[in-house]
Structure 1
């Protein structure tokens, strides 16, 4: 769709039409992910043309312009992949209202050999962390007012090799309960309660994990989430979002601003 001006225009026109038909506030693009520098360039061009069309539509209809946002990788560049590429920060600054950085899924079912904090704020052993990712966007020139931090309302599960070794990074042999080793926050609370799980807060990564028998779950709870929000406030970025609200418990969270 993004590879040429004709298909981009068809997509843009239909997206604006649908957003107005259903009285949406705007549109959020979730492209996971552009695979090479050419696709990153096409993404930048898409944003330019999309913003131009949004502004034109707002002017001709005398309505407030639709919002335009995008879900993006936790880091500005794909430093872990064989094909290096970087998001078009210049186009994002000029054309998007903000980006939603997906600061989660750092670890999961693709590596069953050890447990991991899948949304670690810090990682003492690598750059796979929210701290590194958000700061990489800022170093690349993204305006802080355009940057929003993602928070997960789900956890990743593993089966421990040795139930007596249950820290972050402990040896594992398989994914644990849930759909491909994923449990919603509500399901994690239920598991912890029914199994008398031990809950730990790891300050090195600013994350939470629980374990019962050989099952290990890495996630965020009210404590680690509150600390992450404080980090975002200190960094001076626009805000934070949760993925996804349907995974939350019915019990209300209270988070101090």
Structure 2
């Protein structure tokens, strides 16, 4: 899993909200599942057009920040965490979702009256997400 775009939030809150606002204006909210990601991206800095970023699980991103002993920054515009770290060869920028950014997005399900959520890349580790889901919703596996 990789992306060729520039460093940015995986699913910026304002953009997710805008898409849901439009979608619910043309489709019954009860038919909409909001897509949620269980991954982040790690970009080499400076980013150059065409350079791939590596995929990273949300849990691995948090562990990497701890391992590199770098602070996780909060971007209030995208409602997303990120951090930068260095290796011996390069600088990197990582964007991912944590419990706070996930909770903010999950609240959109109630705000817009959606049917629920669906996930992408289920094999990635993000235990906080599943706790939030159990505490917030009635889970139906289909």
Q: Deviations over 1:181-231 (max 9, x none)?
A: 211223213322221132122121111212212111111110100011112
Identify the match of residue 18 of structure 2 among 104, 111, 132: 132
Matches within 5 A, 1:138-217: 138-140=24-26, 142-161=27-46, 172-173=47-48, 174-176=51-53, 181-213=54-86, 214-217=91-94
Matches within 5 A, 1:39-50: none
Gaps of 5+ in 1: 1-107, 123-128, 162-171
Q: Deviations over 1:85-114 (max 9, x none)?
A: xxxxxxxxxxxxxxxxxxxxxxx7323xx3
Partner residue of 2:10?
A: 118
Which structure carries more strand by proportion? 2
Question: Is the 1:197–1:210 contact (alpha carbons within 8 Å) kept by the matching residues of 2?
Answer: yes
Partner residue of 2:96?
A: 219
SS in 1 for 2:131: coil
CA RMSD in angstroms, aligned pairs only: 2.3
**1:244 shift after superposition:** 2.8
Count of residue pairs the alignment pairs up: 128
SS in 2 for 1:254: helix
Task: Tell me the distance in 1 between the aligned counterparts of 2:10 and 2:69.
Answer: 23
TM-score, with structure 2 as normaliser: 0.77
Task: Tell me the distance in 2 between the aligned counterparts of 1:247 and 1:220.
Answer: 12
- Higher RCO structure, 1 or 2 (CA under 8 Å, sep 6+): 2
Whichever of the two has the greater Rg, that structure is 1
SS in 1 for 2:13: coil
Gaps of 5+ in 2: 137-142
